[in-house]
Structure 1
Amino acid sequence: MQEPLQQVLDFAEAAHAGQTRKYTPERYMVHPIRVMEICSRYNNSVPVLAAALLHDVLEDTPVTSEELLRFLHTVMPPEDAETTIALVNDLTDEYTKERYPNWNRKKRKEEERERMRRISPYAQTIKYADILDNSHEITAADPQFAPRFLKECRMLLQAMPLGHAGLYHTVKERVHECLQELPRRG
């Protein structure tokens, strides 16, 4: 792994310290690492791979965008740091329950989908990898919630077709396959 990416990985690991995946006892970082690995098959840009590693930091840890940007400026050229923080900001949910407590999940997801329609193709590619990694795990571990999650993913994908075409096709197929699996489960 390139030195800046190793430093970003270490930062993300420290930010997510003590967190585990929702459906497994694995440390949380296994997910961002898998997302980065998926992205690396389609793009080897350091800012894109760094953003993949950091995609949940602002949403799921106390780290602020300003703190993250300060860190990024210590490990990569300014232009790469600015690109990385822009991608991470694009990937951070804006329409959260905490910010919009009077909105139901459907309304929040509709607004988030409209926002995601306008994010960069690189951010969309990272989101594809995120969906791809989460789809199988949620389908297997939570068959009650999986239909809702997968349908939300399908609608999100319809709104954001500008990322890497090959990964877009793969994730659309995975979501469809996961939805097809569900009726066969007990």
Structure 2
Amino acid sequence: MELSDKQWELFDFVKEQHGEQRRKYTGEPYWTHLLSVANIVSDYSTIHFEIEIALCHDLFEDTMCTPDLLNGYLINLGYDKSGRDTILRGVNDLTDKFTKEAYPKFNRKLRKGFEAQRLWKIKPYCQTVKYADIIDNTSSIVENDAGFARIYLREIDSFIWKINAGNKDLYVRCCKQFSEAVHKLL
């Protein structure tokens, strides 16, 4: 994957925001997941800033970064209003809304059910990034935690078949990997 200078600067900002966070199963810096998702998306990207969205997709969920902070940084990097709006919308669309903190009385199954229904409605370019996120997460989870993988795959099954408006080739790849993971764990 080749990133522009602007994208590398954005990636540096994202790395700084994620700080010392680590991947659960590998202990690698968390930013390796973000770069992996961006790399997957880069082979299928169009003009909708999917790479930037992939790099930033966990900012609002996993860091103290706010939309205003990200917007200010995007302004400093020279993204125009349309680009900033697309990136911010994408990151927002990929940020879980039905979290334990926001809905403490809902159990995980209920929260993930509502989250699945929300994901059905995200923009096609956000669906493309979600496919890449699923691909990267699925391989790590299935390889390292078969028990949780079964739960995770059930949750993915509740929406994957309804988010089919993104890049068709990446969607096929995502569904294939998902199906292989399910069969592996049977």
After TM superposition, list the pairs within 5 Å mapping 1:1-186 onto structure 2. Answer: 1-45=3-47, 47-75=49-77, 76-183=79-186
> For residues 45-102 of structure 1, what are the alpha-carbon distances to aligned partners after superposition, in whole Å with 9 as ceiling and x for unaligned?
3722111000001100011111111111111122111110010000000010000000
DSSP-derived class of the 1:144 partner:
helix
Q: How many residues align?
A: 183
Deviation (angstroms), 1:31:
0.3
Task: Summarize deviations over 1:86-127 as a string: whole Å, max 9, x none.
Answer: 100000000100000000111111111111111100000100
- Answer whether contact 1:20 1:26 (CA < 8 A) is retained: yes
Query: Is 1:113–1:159's contact at 8 Å kept on the other side of the alignment?
Result: no
Q: Name the TM-score, length of structure 1 as normaliser.
A: 0.95
Contact 1:47 1:81 in 2 (8 A): no
Percentage of matched positions with identical amino acids: 37
Which segments of 5 or more consecutive residues in structure 2 lack a partner in the other structure?
none
Shift of 1:154: 2.0
SS in 2 for 1:111: helix
RMSD across aligned positions (CA): 1.1
CA contact (8 A) 2:50 2:128 kept: no
> Which amino acid is the alignment partner of residue 40 of structure 1?
S
Give TM-score, length-normalised by structure 2: 0.95
Structure 1 Cα separation of the partners of residues 48 and 166 of structure 2 = 17
